[in-house]
Amino acid sequence: MHLHKEIQKSRRQKSSYKDLQIVYLSEGVSAISKLYAGGTASSIAIKKALRALAVNKQINLDSFERWVVQNLPTHRGRATPKEGSRRIYRAQRVHNSGPFLRLPLNSLKIEKGELISVKFEKNQIVVQKEQQ
């Protein structure tokens, strides 16, 4: 019996985060993906389920976290820049720190913990994904 099919048949239109926790633990991230694609699981409920599951350190959530980053909106704001696109960023400063930039690294497909190299040249800074 597949839980994600049972959820789709119920009178409720959306899955709760607790439903999604059970679906992930019993059937994995592919079932979550199907529910999201079918419109019965909201991005908010999926993220809440992930946070609730993360409390238990014994559950391996690598595939779930990776799926959330790749498939769900991560924040409100501008879309991730496409390869080859050009953007202008304003330098920021917090209190007494030096000026810095916040750059989105999604277009480099960098996962948490991966290495990047930053090369400082006279008039440019080059950021590249390190080959491991």
- pTM for the model stands at 0.52
- pLDDT for the residue 6: 60
117 strand-pairing partners? 128
Cα–Cα distance for residue pair 13/117, rounded to 1 Å: 46
Cα–Cα distance for residue pair 103/89, rounded to 1 Å: 8
- pLDDT for the residue 3: 60
Please check whether residue 49 is in contact with residue 24, taking contact to mean a CB–CB distance below 8 angstroms. Answer: yes
Residue 42 has pLDDT above 70, yes or no: yes
- pLDDT for the residue 87: 84
Residue 4 has pLDDT above 70, yes or no: no
56: domain range? 3-71
Kindly state whether residue 117 falls inside one of the protein's structural domains. Answer: no
The backbone region for 77, taken as left when phi is positive above 0, alpha when psi lies in -120 to 50, beta otherwise, is left
- The string of pLDDT tens digits covering residues 96-128 is 888 888 887 777 788 888 899 999 999 988 888
Kindly state whether residue 86 falls inside one of the protein's structural domains. Answer: no
113 strand-pairing partners? none
Kindly state whether residue 26 falls inside one of the protein's structural domains. Answer: yes
Kindly state whether residue 12 falls inside one of the protein's structural domains. Answer: yes
